[in-house]
Every structure is written in structure tokens, then in C-alpha cells.
Amino acid sequence: MKEWSTFGQKKIGHTGTLDPDAEGVLPVCLGMATRLVESLTKGTKTYEAVLLLGVTTDTQDTSGKVLTEQEVTVGEEEVKAAVLSFTGEQEQIPPMYSAIKVNGQKLVDLARRGVEVERKPRKVEFSEIIIKEIDLPRVRFSVTCSKGAYIRTLCEDIGNKLGCGGCMESLLRTRVGQFGIEDAYTLDEIRTMKESEDLKAGGTADQYSFVRPLDAFYTDLPAMNVQEFLDKAVFNGNSFRVRGSSSQTEAELVRIYSSDGTFIGIYKKEGRFMKPEKMFYSPVQQ
């Protein structure tokens, strides 16, 4: 997080940690954008994983202690059927090596002390699973899943279904909501861009080419600029009455901007009024 402190932001938030050996997309929210964390966390995530069949470990990935090793005798068609059978809503038991808390203690901390506790299965959803390559004992696949799903556990569950066991060999998060890996930067790349853009103390995050503006998260919603006489109302987070009819005012949720184009927040239509749903403007900004 030290790299982000140079932006002079008091609030910084991310949208879900990655496994220690995993790589990929991790949106970081700065300042007022931390109000997006909850929405991003609830959204779907897409991963590319490599499943290693025939091996089980205590961490459900290859970084852990090997528990069992078996010969893989199943064929490709059987493997395909088993992997794809997990598409849809599933009951998944969270792994011991996870940040989930039980009675105030993280499961991973208990696991490291050799303590295992009963975990209740949770409903998760794998909305899409695509097999990329099968080169037994390895299977490379992509999966889009809901919040709370563990790909390590999915790999182990597939191995158990095939009767030979399995664990996760590698994991790459390729998408979080609308943010794909093609949009991502490494920390080294960010450092280099800071230097090339001559970033100096006193700058603001929205000046940087690699930081997206707040309203980029809501590009699927119609936009409305209010007239100047309504600026004071929206700057203070007040509702306002709409006149006439347009594609914007007919929508349930709308991006609201002041007359000079300042992004205010998301408003919800209720009758002839637009009422604030989620505000991103603060008078402190002015």
C-alpha cells in the first residue's frame, strides 16, 4: 500500500485479496472511490486456473504439504464432464487456509497451529467454466464465479469427483467486474508511469493516466447534467424535480453531473423527482 500513499489519499481500499501464490487483477480504490469497494466485492470474478490431478495437499494448492498422491487413470472425456458438472450453483465448504473468521479467529491462523474446525457449506455460483487445455494430469480452465467462491476448493472437489484427488497448481485472476487484466498494471509499471508523467507532491489521483475516474464504473447508466440553478442542490446532495421526458429521466438510475461537468453521484428516479442513491461528491473537494 506504500505506493498508493504518494497520491495523498487518506482512504484507500481494495476489492478482495488474492492467494499468496496467485496473480492478477486487484482494483484499488482511492479517496471517494472507496465507496465502490462493496459493489466491486459483490460482483463476479473470472480466473484462469491449472488443476493438477492426482495430488492433494493441506492447502488445496501446490504450496502446501502433500497429503496423497495417486495415478491418474481417467480419460479426457471423463475429466471434461467432471469439470463442467460444477457449472451453476454449488455448495462449497470453505478451506481451512482462508481468511474467514470463526469465533473471531481466522481459519488460516488455526490451520497453521494444526487446528481444524467444522465449516458450514456455503452457496456459491460458477456461472461459466471453460476448459482451455487438457494435458493430464493437468487441466487449464477459466471460471467466472460469485463472491466467496474458492478456486482451490473447486480444484479439490473436481479431483475428488474423479476419484484421484486434485489441487490447484496456479491461479490468475483475469477480471473483477468490468475491470480486465488488459486494463491492469504491475506496481513496477505504475512506478515507471509516475516518473514519466512527472508526478509531484500535491497532485491529485484523477490527474494520472492510469487512474480511472469515478464515473467510469457507471458507464452503463445514462448521464444527466443539471442546469446551473440546480448546482447548489446537487452539490449538497439534495433531491430535485425533473421536467419533461428524455431517455435519461425515464431511467431508474442516472449519473448526475453539475452544469460544469463535475460528477456528483448516482440518483434514483422516484415519480417526478431524482433522489440521491449514492453520492461521490463532497463539498470538501471544492
Q: Is residue 113 part of a domain?
A: yes
What 3-state class would DSSP assign to 197? Answer: coil
Same domain, 159 and 252: no
User: How far is the C-alpha of 232 from the C-alpha of 238, rounded, in Å?
Assistant: 9
Is 4 within a domain?
no
What CATH code is carried by the domain that includes residue 53?
3.30.2350.10
- 49-89 per-position pLDDT tens digit: 999 999 999 999 999 999 999 999 999 999 999 999 999 99
Total count of domains within the chain: 2
Q: Provide the residue range defining the domain that includes 75.
A: 44-176
Instruction: Say whether pTM exceeds 0.75.
Output: yes
- Is 262 within a domain? yes
Domain boundary at 130, 151, 176, which? 176
Rounded to 10 degrees, the C-alpha dihedral 153/179/12/97 comes to 10
pLDDT in the model for residue 108:
83
Q: 267 and 160 in one domain?
A: no
- Examine the domain organization and report whether 56 and 125 are in the same domain: yes
pLDDT tens per residue, range 115-145: 888 888 999 999 999 999 999 999 999 999 9
Catalytic residue selected from 19, 21, 183, 260? 19
CATH value at residue 268: 2.30.130.10
Residue 260 above 70 pLDDT?
Answer: yes
19 flagged as catalytic: yes
pLDDT at 190: 82
